[in-house]
Each structure stands twice: as structure tokens, then as C-alpha cells.
Structure 1
Amino acid sequence: MIDIIIIGAGPAGLSAALYASRAGASVLMLDGAAPGGKLNVSAEIENWPGQKKVAGPDLAYQMFEHGLAFGASYEYGLVEKVEDLGDYKVVVTTDKTYEARMVLVASGTVERKLGLEKEEELTGKGISYCAVCDGPFFKEEEVAVIGGGNSALEEANYLTKFASIVHLIVRRDQFRADKIVQDKIKANDKIKIHFLQKPIEIIEENNKVAGLVLEHSQTSETMNLPVKGIFPYVGLDPITSFVSHLGITNKVGYIEVDKHMETNVKGIFGAGDVIDKVLRQVVTATNDGAIAGQYMSELLQDQSLQK
């Protein structure tokens, strides 16, 4: 019986592991991807206090090492279901079952798809959801980034290291990103901004992306962009299907928690991007994890004293 199982080894999960294990709890982290979460697909982090600029994968590695420093362990595992059995919980992965006194869900979010025909079959063949991972494949090519928030603009700016032209496709008539990010975009002459445009068709040649058809939101006029790469950043969805039956999520799937990061099911907690909150950033994820990790360890200590 493990004290705490943490589902997700991103900033929230790693922070919780650090606090809980440092307080003496036995902690197991499970994740179906590389530790660090979305840090691994972020080229640069400029708002992590104490470091003016740090590469996302570097920060991920630092957090992972620190998260394990006080005895927490990590295993690869794709969680399929969490069951509440009162005093303990059961976590079922694709190939193993675990038992724990408490569970923290810090599974984060997944990139939302465009919903266009051929999108699935062309993923990895011109469509990518990770500019850091795949940007180098598009040297001196034209690419399109879709979205108007911080992620879209930051990744568009990053892609100019490789691409000849980056077309930034924005459905609205303005950006939703921070002003400092917008200023970088406007100052970069390799970025062409297309406001009030939405993608309606992916052009395919030889089983690869060969272009993108856009439609003007007001006039319905269409235009073709001769891009070889498409990078959608049109929103995120919470990864919570494995706890949806527990009644701890809102109507769009985000986990609802109290000030201690506990859900309405005693002993099950949430932290990071997966919970219902206003700001999803690395610093707020680590905050959530610290609160959850400390509180869970205090509850465990109280329970042991009562026995």
C-alpha cells in the first residue's frame, strides 16, 4: 500500500512529490510520457521566477531530479481508471494495478484538434502539435501556426529559426496573447499574420501536407497557403477520462477542487492544468502541487497518530 500515487509527472506532480516525500510520505508518480509535461515541448520559459530565460526541457530535468530527491519514485504507466474504495484507492494502468491511501490527479491537458478531414492521418506527416520537437524538419519551408494565444505566438516565433515564412492564422481580429509576446511577433519579419481567417481544408500530396485552405470569417473568401507544416494551437482539453465516473469534474472535464486541492471524493486530489482555474502556468502548477503534497502528507500523519 503506497501512501500517495501521483498521476502525471509535470510541474504540478513533481512539486507535489517533492513536498509529500520530504514530509515522509511514500510517493509513486505515474506518467505515460517523459517527466516534465509540457515543459518538454516549450522552447523557452521566460516567466519562471529566478531565471530570466530557461529551456523548457532543462527545467523539466531539474524538476524531475528534485522531485525524486527525497525518496519519491517514478514509473511509466498509462492510467485507465481510478477507483474509490473508501480508505484506499485503486489505480489501474494498461498493465498493472496499484493501491494507495490517496491519489493526486495531475495529468494535465492535451492539445485540441482542428477537426479537419485528413488531420489524423497527416499527423507526423506535416501536422505537428510540438514546434520544439518538429521545427527542424521544416528548414527553409513555409509553415502555418494556428491560434492567437501565448502558445501559438511563442511557437510561431520559435519556428522562424527554421522556416522561411511562418503564417500565423488567427480566427479573431486580434491576439489573446500577452503584449510582450505580441510585440515579438510584430517585430519578426518572417511572420505573416492572417487575422479573421480559419482553416477549412488540408491540402495533401504524396501523403504529406502540401498546403492549407483558409476562409475569411466575414467575407467567406478562401485562400490557399503553400505550407509544408501545420502547427495547431487552438486550445486544450483536460486529461480526465479515467476519473470521469467519480463525479469530480465540471461539464468540460476539468477537476473541481477546494483550497487544499481536494475533490469532493475524500482522498482524491487534483493539481495543475487539469483543475478548474483561471491561470495555467508553470508557476501556478507548482503552487497547486505544493499545496496538495503538503496537505496530503499532513492528513497521513494525522491518520497514523489516530491509530
Structure 2
Amino acid sequence: MASYNFTLAEKFTLLGFSHLPHLRFLLICMFLFLYTCTLLGNSLIILLIIKDHRLHNPMYFFLANLSVLDLLSPSVTVPKMIKDLVSGKGDISFHGCFIQIFFYITFVAPECPLLSVMAFDRYVAICKPLHYRIIMSKKMCSWLTGGIWIVGSFYSLLHTLMTKNIHFCGPFLINHVFCDVLPLLQLACSDITLNLASLYISVFFNVICNFSIILSSYSSIVTVIARTKYRGGRMKTFSTCSSHLMVVSVYYFTVLATYFHPVSSYSESKDRAAIVVYTAVTPALNPIIYSFRNNNVKKALKKLF
């Protein structure tokens, strides 16, 4: 039987951007700017959807939920990243680390199913327009949204508890910008086979399956658009999907760059750059995409100001 030399961790140290001391001031300014844009942009989208009656439909209801996630997920990580850059220290307590993991997964995991539900909404609107109000009723939207948040809470509780039960080796240095499951697995002294298996199964169901739903929805949408006789009609129909397609593309590109590689390679600088894009840039970018690519949001902005 193998024996492991482990000690009880009281705190972890996030190495973050300690390898880039000459860029500290620039990184502080960048994160402050991105986080401010995230707060203002997503709050504005939520305000517009609440106040403008023209945006009271399923498409914008789901968009409001996306903006809520984009508000909450960076709020779990970015303020701590800024604080660590200012202080030059990355200490976080053992319990604080797992609290951060819990809330981070809670607000990140629902984004995949939410994007697939938004794709399904566009599929129903374009491919089955006469049945749209029946299929995407208020009750159905409420059930879908509730299910999305329950999925996020389930994944969060599962991976937080499983990671917390690992025995960790010292020194407790996390080569990452915040507490996440994969960087913590690098510090494990005990067997992590079950942790990795549950992680890959979660990725399959939450990322791959939802991506399949999105592909299937847009395959049907493209078929319907191709049958449209007039070019103007095709462009108008496609314009209702363009914002969502851009958000999906940015999201899945950053997810692939961040998480789809071996655990042993997770300490590389390029992975930290990818996670910065995923946690700080994408939430700030989504409101801009929907503002510039959506005529209804533009009209609501003009009406508000």
C-alpha cells in the first residue's frame, strides 16, 4: 500500500502573476477596467430588459440570466485577483479557497446549458414560429431556467466536496490566479482517479452534450434560412442569431483553451492567459456584442438615454 507524505493545509498561496512583477500596475489597471465594464454593461442589459416591454420575451429573459451569470462569476475571482496584485501576496485560507471554488462553479457551470437553451429558443422561433408562444411559454422558460441553476449548484457541490476530501502535499502553492479544481489536483498526495473521472463526465454532459444541442439547433436553422427565397429575408432571419453565435464562439473557444489539456500542463503561462480571457474579458464582451448586434437592444438604449 502506498504511503503519502501530507500535512493539513491551513492556507494556500496563489502564485497568480508573481512571475510578471514588471506588469503589476498594467494588470491592475486592466482588471479594474474590465471588471468595471462587466458591472456596467451587464447591469445595463438587465435594466433594459426589465424596463422595456418590447424585451419581455423568452429570448431576452434568457439574455438577462446570462448577464446575471456574467455579473456574478467574475465577482467571485476578479476582485481577489486585483487585491493580490495590489498587495503582492496571494494568501487564501483553506476554507476560503473552497468557498471560492463553490461559487465559481455555481456561476460558471450554468452557462453551457443556458447557451444551449438560447439556441433552442432561436430554433423554435425560426423553425416553428406558429408554435413559438405555446412551446416557449412562461412556465416552460421558468422550468428551463430553474433547471439550469440547479445543474450549476449540483456540479458545484459535487466537485467542491470531492476536491476538499483530497490530501494535499506542501508547500501549498497554487500555480494559478484563483482557486480552481484542476490546479488543486496538482497538489494532491492521494489518489485523484475518481476526481478526474467525475470531472471528465461533468465536462461531457455539461459542455459536449450542450454543444451538440447548439449544433443541432443551428443546423436546422441554417436549413430553414437556406430555403428562404429572398436574400433580405435570409439576412433578417440570421441577424436574430448572430449575437448568440458570437457569444457561443467566444465562450467555447476560451473553454477549450482553458480546460481541455492534461492536468500536468496546467501551470503554463498560456493557460493563465486563457483563464483571464474566460473570467475577465468574456463577461465584459458579451453586453457589447448584444448591444451592437441587436436592433431591439439598440432601440431600448436610445429610449433609456
Which TM-score bucket, shorter chain as reference?
Answer: 0.3 to 0.5
Larger relative CO (CA 8 A, sep 6+): 1 or 2? 2
TM-score by structure 1 length? Answer: 0.34
* Greater fraction of residues in strand: 1
Q: TM-score by structure 2 length?
A: 0.34
